[in-house]
Structure 1
Amino acid sequence: MDLSPVAEDYLKAIYHLEDEYQRPIRTTEISEELDVTSPTVTSMLDSLAERELVDYTPYQGVELTDCGEEIVLKLIRNHRLLETFLMEHLDYSWSTVHDEADRLEHHVSDEFTQRLATFLGEPAMDPHGDPIPDSDLVIPEETPYTALTEYESGETVTVEQVPHRDPDIRDYLSQHRIGPGTRLVVDEVLSIDLVTVVPSSTETPVALPTHVARRIGARAVTK
């Protein structure tokens, strides 16, 4: 199906918002996610609904159809394989690779994607710790990692998965040298929605809002 990159970005936004909220998505939420006006969102949703990529009822919300979800899973597969290649072979950092893959994901063929997967050894995870859909577009529903908020003060963990779609969160973590592979000691879990951690590389406490710490996946370090 011939879709513009802009239309594909709308489908991706709906997919991620559905995953976050577990309900039909409001036009205002898509507007905030993509930084566009509500009338622009409504116009695009009408177009996507005509192509049977979304189920859209004004004032009730929008959901992806099976066809719309298939398009998104192909984009996610493209994106995460590209991120893996860019980091492993072109020395991109985990904090900069997302935007580059965002630009490229719309412009590669299915054949290229499969050749890339074969070249990379069919990786199951991307550099941020997110699962890569397989060639049948099957993606695990549960992460193998434990959220940072589930650990107690004094525990040592290794970061395996980081949130990276939000540039502000991505930059904050990068500035404090927290990324995949970072070893942390959980310092304090505060009642004011903060988790304080100490990266082993800096030994300087870093405060993380709970909503960010909840999206950091980690494994306990066994002593």
Structure 2
Amino acid sequence: MDLSPVAEDYLKAIYYLETENGRPVRTSDISEALDVTSPTVTSMLDTLDERELANYTPYQGVELTDRGREVVLQLVRNHRLLETFLMEYLDYSWSAVHDEADRLEHHVSDEFTRRLAAFLGEPATDPHGDPIPDADLRMPDESPYTPLTEFEPDDRVTVEQVPHRDPDVREYLSRHRIGPGTRLVVEEVSPIDLVTVVPSSTGASVALPTHVARRIGARAVTK
């Protein structure tokens, strides 16, 4: 399907907002996510609706169609395979691969993606622990990881999945050496929306806002 990278970015934004907040998605949320004006969003949503990639109702919001969701899942597959390649073979860090893959995902063919997946051994997850859609664009129904917010003080865990689309969150976690594979001790779960953890690599306490900690997936470590 002949779509511009800009149109594809709109579809991805709708997909992630649907996933995080439910549907239909408000135009104001898309405007904020993509840092564009409301009239610009409305114009693009009209185009996506005409192309049967989204169902847009003014003043009510927008939802992806099955066709639109298929386009997005192919982009997600491209993106996460590219991230895996960049980290495993070009020595990118987990915190740097997202932006690079964002630029590349729009410009690879389905055949390239098929070959890349085979070359990488058909990985199930990317460097951030996110699932990679399979060749039929199917996603797992549930994450195998437990949100960090569900652990108790003194629990020892290994981080398996980190939020990475927000550059400020990415930078904060990277600066405090928290990423996939990091071992943590949960120090405190505060009633004021903070989870404090201690990475084994630094031994220094790190305060995580609950909305960030909730998006960090982890596995319990047996003492």
Structures share fold, TM-score greater than 0.5: yes
Where does residue 74 of structure 1 map in the other structure? 74
Where does residue 217 of structure 2 map in the other structure? 217
Where does residue 169 of structure 1 map in the other structure? 169
Where does residue 19 of structure 2 map in the other structure? 19
Aligned-pair CA distance for 1:7: 0.2
C-alpha distance in structure 2 between counterparts of 1:176 and 1:110, whole Å: 37
Where does residue 107 of structure 2 map in the other structure? 107
C-alpha distance in structure 2 between counterparts of 1:215 and 1:23, whole Å: 20
Where does residue 207 of structure 1 map in the other structure? 207
Taking only aligned residues, the RMSD between alpha carbons, in angstroms, comes to 0.4
Aligned-pair CA distance for 1:200: 0.4
Q: Name stretches of at least 5 consecutive residues in structure 1 with no aligned partner.
A: none
Where does residue 93 of structure 1 map in the other structure? 93
1:177-192 alignment runs, 5 A limit:
177-192=177-192
1:57-68 alignment runs, 5 A limit:
57-68=57-68
> 1:218 aligns to what SS in structure 2?
strand
Where does residue 194 of structure 1 map in the other structure? 194
C-alpha distance in structure 1 between counterparts of 2:81 and 2:109, whole Å: 13
Aligned-pair CA distance for 1:214: 0.3
1:211 is aligned with what amino acid? H
Where does residue 35 of structure 2 map in the other structure? 35
C-alpha distance in structure 2 between counterparts of 1:190 and 1:141, whole Å: 30
Aligned-pair CA distance for 1:50: 0.6
Aligned-pair CA distance for 1:141: 1.9
> 2:197 aligns to what SS in structure 1?
strand
1:43 is aligned with what amino acid? S
Where does residue 44 of structure 1 map in the other structure? 44
1:168 is aligned with what amino acid? D
Given the two structures, how large is their TM-score scaled by the length of structure 1?
A: 1.00
Q: Name stretches of at least 5 consecutive residues in structure 2 with no aligned partner.
A: none
List structure 1 segments (4+ residues) > 3 angstroms apart after TM superposition. none
Aligned-pair CA distance for 1:22: 1.3
> 1:188 aligns to what SS in structure 2?
strand
C-alpha distance in structure 2 between counterparts of 1:121 and 1:211, whole Å: 34
1:3 is aligned with what amino acid? L
Given the two structures, how large is their TM-score scaled by the length of structure 2?
A: 1.00
> 2:219 aligns to what SS in structure 1?
strand
